[in-house]
Amino acid sequence: MRNRSLSFWLFLTPVILGLGIVVVIPFVYGLIYSFTDWNGLTANNFVGLENYIKLFQEDEFMNSIWFTIKFAVITVLLLNIFGLGLALLVTRNMKTNNLMRTVFFMPNLIGGLILGFIWQFIFISVFGDISGITGIEGLSGWLSTTNTGFWGLVILTSWQMAGYIMIIYIAYLENVPKELIEASKIDGANAVQRFKNVIFPLVAPAFTVSMFLTLSMSFKIYDQNLSLTNGGPFNSTQMVAMEIVRTAFSDREMAYAQAKAVIFFLIVAVISLTQVYYNKKREVDV
Amino acid sequence: MQKDREKRNTRLLEIFGLLLALLWLSPFYLMIVNAFKTKRGIFEGVLGIPVEFTFENFVNAFAELEFLKSLFNSVLITGLSILIIILFSSMAGYALARNKSKLSGIIFFVFVAAMLIPFQSVMIPLVAIFGQVDMLNAAGLIFMYLGFGCSLSIFLYHGAMTGISKSLDEAAIIDGASRFQTFWYIIFPLLKPISVTVAILNTIWIWNDYLLPSLVLSEANATIPLKMFYFFGQYTKQWHLALAGLTIAIIPVIIGYFFAQKQIIDGVSEGAVK
């Protein structure tokens, strides 16, 4: 198909309109609006960097950024440990492999909003009951403090997404040639040595893929945040995505919220590009 | 002897794995058993099975959720979005893969680069623009899903096209087929495996999406997650009702998973690794 052929453009028109109207134009408008006093309908004045200066001075926004970074770091670690662990478990020669995969993956299919509500019940009522029976004080009052809210979100997200990361690791593990493992067994390598020297180097690309995925997933979390803690107590468990939604649609400070959204974009883009860069670099090295 | 030890280890691991799987399912167990309890039953204890077994919570939650209506809305919006994403993305993936020009490369790059933009970064102007042209409704929402869903889908179709020989197109064109006929009768059927992947990945996301519909749809057109949010807000601290509602909301997903688990897991694997 040549550029000038009408059919080339006809084939592309629907998606160009879709991406253009839904993503590109709002993105460009958003950039411009973030430097104005836009109220959702009209923008009367350019205010320069005012919105940006303001957001760096706002405690609530900076808190939400730190909270999100802390959450992302811990969740990325746990997700990859669980994901790899589960993948190693279900790639053994067992009859119940498929059953386990099905179970571990299941929470991914259900939305974060619904799962957050279920876990709200577990953290509040079930934990409360267990605490009453066993006398473990640490289990009562969950989600009522910043700390338990944080760990509640970490547990919910790890439980929900570990099966997804498991699937990624499985895809790489199953590409490890069986002969290689057999050969290393014959050479007398034990399980740890096999993992370290044979399996690990071959699944190393999986780390890049899943680090990238988990990091950007945990940065963009909104539904789980809304349904589990709703940002509480006192907005202390509010992540960046929720902060932006609130500023825009509860406080109706559109231009200011958009400035936050631009900062959010920059953070997510830098994370993604760094990962892509390392991915490419390693491919070249290999 | 080595073999025996390995067998025993595997057996132990299997038992551990199954216990872990039970633990994984425990949130669903707790949801379901407590959905069958009365309000007092939950107050008396949440761990055991119901003493006083009741089905009433489900009847009430089903009515309160207007479940058939929200199910219909969810099916309609997800279904139509998937159809247009598959049709338009496969056309674009085909056109971009068959045109080797620089311009084609740039267009492809723009679609891939757009995946970097998080939803919250465009959400506010998007809602403002659609509001101004009166398109904050189901049709507008479906169009938005095309915009957000096409990048990854085009990427997947573009990759799949490399495995389809160009001589197929040429033969069809010589036989007098138009470009669209060539695509529709020759290429599109060959893309079926990747279409399944595209359908699965987008269904998981669109079916469960909450934020975008909450900004676009009125309560009358609410999808399941949206309705669930209103419902839950109304019945906080009435866990017997809330849990029955949550159970009902999950049932369609579980049925879908039961029938298509292999395709779903394969599709997710394919979408993530590429």
Q: pLDDT per residue over A140-168, tens digit each?
A: 889 999 999 999 999 999 999 999 999 99
pLDDT at A66: 95
Query: Which residues of B are less than 8 Å from A212 in CB distance?
Result: none
A6 pLDDT higher than 90: no
Q: What average pLDDT does the segment A202-209 reach?
A: 79
* % of residues, chain A, pLDDT over 90: 63
Q: Helix, strand, coil % (nearest 5) of chain A? A: 75, 0, 20
pLDDT at A285: 59
pLDDT at B235: 84
Of B143, B215, B229, which has the smallest distance from its Cβ to A18's Cβ? B143
Q: What average pLDDT does the segment B255-272 reach?
A: 89
Query: Which residues of A are less than 8 Å from B124 in CB distance?
Result: 26, 30, 33, 40, 244, 248, 254, 257-258, 261
The closest of B206, B201, B197 to B142, measured between CA atoms, is B206
Probe site for chain B from A25, A113, A210, A218 (most B CB atoms < 10 A): A113
The closest of A216, A97, A158, A168 to B266, measured between CA atoms, is A168
pLDDT at A138: 85
Q: Give yes or no for a contact between A58 and A272, defined as CB atoms under 8 angstroms apart.
A: no
Helix (H) or strand (E) holding B213: helix B211-216
Choices 2.40.50.140, 3.40.50.720, 1.10.3720.10, 1.10.460.10: CATH for A49-285: 1.10.3720.10
Name all contacts of A60-66 with Cβ < 8 Å and 24+ positions apart: A60/A235, A60/A238, A60/A243, A61/A243, A61/A260, A63/A235, A63/A236, A63/A238, A64/A235, A64/A238, A64/A239, A64/A240, A64/A242, A64/A243, A65/A240, A65/A267
Q: Which residue from A minimizes the CA distance to B240?
A: A121
Per-residue buried b or exposed e for B73-104, using 16+ beta carbons within 10 Å of the residue's own CB:
bbeebbebbbebbbebbbbbbbbbbbbeeeeb
pLDDT at A94: 82
For chain B, give every domain's residue range.
71-273
Query: Could B117 and A27 be called an inter-chain contact, meaning their C-beta atoms sit closer than 8 Å?
Result: yes
A239/A221 Cα distance (integer angstroms) = 8
What DSSP character marks residue B177?
A: -
Which of A203-217, B119-133, B212-226 shows the lowest mean pLDDT across its residues?
Answer: A203-217
Q: What average pLDDT does the segment A235-246 reach?
A: 94
Query: Could A15 and B111 be called an inter-chain contact, meaning their C-beta atoms sit closer than 8 Å?
Result: yes
Q: Which CATH superfamily is domain B71-273 in?
A: MetI-like (1.10.3720.10)
pLDDT at A4: 62
For chain A, give every domain's residue range.
49-285
